[in-house]
Amino acid sequence: MTGARNGGAPAAVLCGLGAWLPPTVVPNTEVAERLGVTDDWIHQRTGVRSRRRVDPGTATIGMAVEAGARALKSQGHGQADAVLLSTATPDRLIPSCAPEIASRLGLTGVAAFDLGAACSGFVYALSVAAGYIAAGTAERVLVIGADTMSAVTDHEDRTTAAIFGDGAGAAVLRAGRPDEPGALGPFVLGSDGTGAGLLGNPRGGSRTRYDYTAAEPRPYVRMEGRQVFRHAVERMGAAIGEAADSRGWDLPAVDRVAIHQANARICQALSTRLAVPEERWLANIDRVANTSSASVPLLLDHSVRDGSLASGARLVIAAFGAGLTWGATTVVWPELTPGE
C-alpha cells in the first residue's frame, strides 16, 4: 500500500531526534566464547562487533523515556500532542507502555499507545504520526522505537545470539509544508503473514500460553536466517525503489539510504541490487547490532553525529521485520541537532 499527500493537508516534518543506549557494551569476544566461535566469525556473517545490553532494573520503558526526552530537547521544547511507541518487547502485555512513557515525560493527558510491527515498527509509527498530522488530530507527535532484545534472545543460539542488542531512538514530527526540508513521505508499507513463522517469538500469547515452569521452553525469538535474508532484500529493495519513484527521485542518485540494521550483508546485497554505491548506505550495526524498533532512529541519530548525514541530503529510509512487515519513506534531511 502506498500513501500519498492529501491535497492541502499539512505534511509531517521531522523536527527533533534523540537516542539512548545502555552503558554496558558486550563485545563479540564475550558472545563468541559462549557459542564456540570467534569474533571474526560473527563479524563476517553479520557485520557486528559489539552490542549494548541493559543492566538489571532497566527495560523498554526506561530506555524509551531517555530517548524521548532527548528528541523533545532536540526540537527545542518538551511539548507533543501524542506519543507513539514501537516495540516488540514491552515491559508487560497490558497496559500499553506509551501512556507511562508520556507521563514520565510530562505529557500526561495526550494520546499515547504502543504499535507492534517488529523491526519495521518505527517506519510504521512514522506513517501513523503523519496521518495524525494530516488529519489535524495532532500538531506534534513524539515517535519512539525501543526494544530490550536481550530479554527475548536465546544466548546459546548461534542464529540469533550475536545479532541482537538493546537500545532506543525517537523523533518528533510537526505539522508543516510538504515542500520544506524534513517533510516525510510518501510512505510505502506492506506485509505478508504467510511468513509469520520465519521470525518471531511464538510463545507467551493467547494461542501458546507460557506456563512459567522449568519444563516449559523459554519464550525466545527464533529465526529462519536464510529465508529472512532473502525476504528482507526483496521486500526492502522493492519498497525503496517505490518510495524513491513516488518522490520523483532517480534512485541511483539519492544521497543516502538508511535501512534497519539487521545484517551488514543485507546492505551489501541491496547496494548491488539497486545500483546505489555502498558508501551511501548509512551504517552503525558494528557498534549496536540489531536493535529492532530502535534501529532506524538510532542510525539516524548516530549518522548526524558522525557527519555522514547532513542537511540537504536526499534520504530514503526503509525497514523490514517479523510479520512479515516492511516499509519505506523519503525525506530531504533538515537542519537539526540530536538532543543530549
- Catalytic (active-site) positions: 119, 260, 290
Q: Which three cell numbers stand for residue 334?
A: 533538515
Return d(Cα 191, Cα 202) in angstroms, integer. Answer: 18
If residue 15 lies in a helix (H) or strand (E), which one and from where to where? strand 11-20
Return d(Cα 111, Cα 295) in angstroms, integer. Answer: 24
Give the chain's length: 340
CA terminus-to-terminus distance, the chain = 36
CA triple 294-87-31, angle to 5 deg: 60
Return d(Cα 184, Cα 75) in angstroms, integer. Answer: 16
Q: Which three cell numbers stand for residue 233?
A: 532484500
Those residues whose C-beta lies under 8 Å from the C-beta of residue 329, and which sit 6 or more positions away, are 123, 126, 127, 184, 185, 186, 187, 188, 243, 316, 317, 318
Return d(Cα 119, Cα 147) in angstroms, integer. Answer: 9
Return d(Cα 101, Cα 84) in angstroms, integer. Answer: 10
Instruction: For 97-134, give the DSSP string.
Output: SHHHHHHHTT-TTSEEEEE--GGGHHHHHHHHHHHHHH
Beta bridge partners of 50: 27
Q: Which ranges of 198-307 does DSSP label H, i.e. alpha helix?
A: 225-247, 264-274, 285-288, 295-305
Return d(Cα 128, Cα 141) in angstroms, integer. Answer: 10
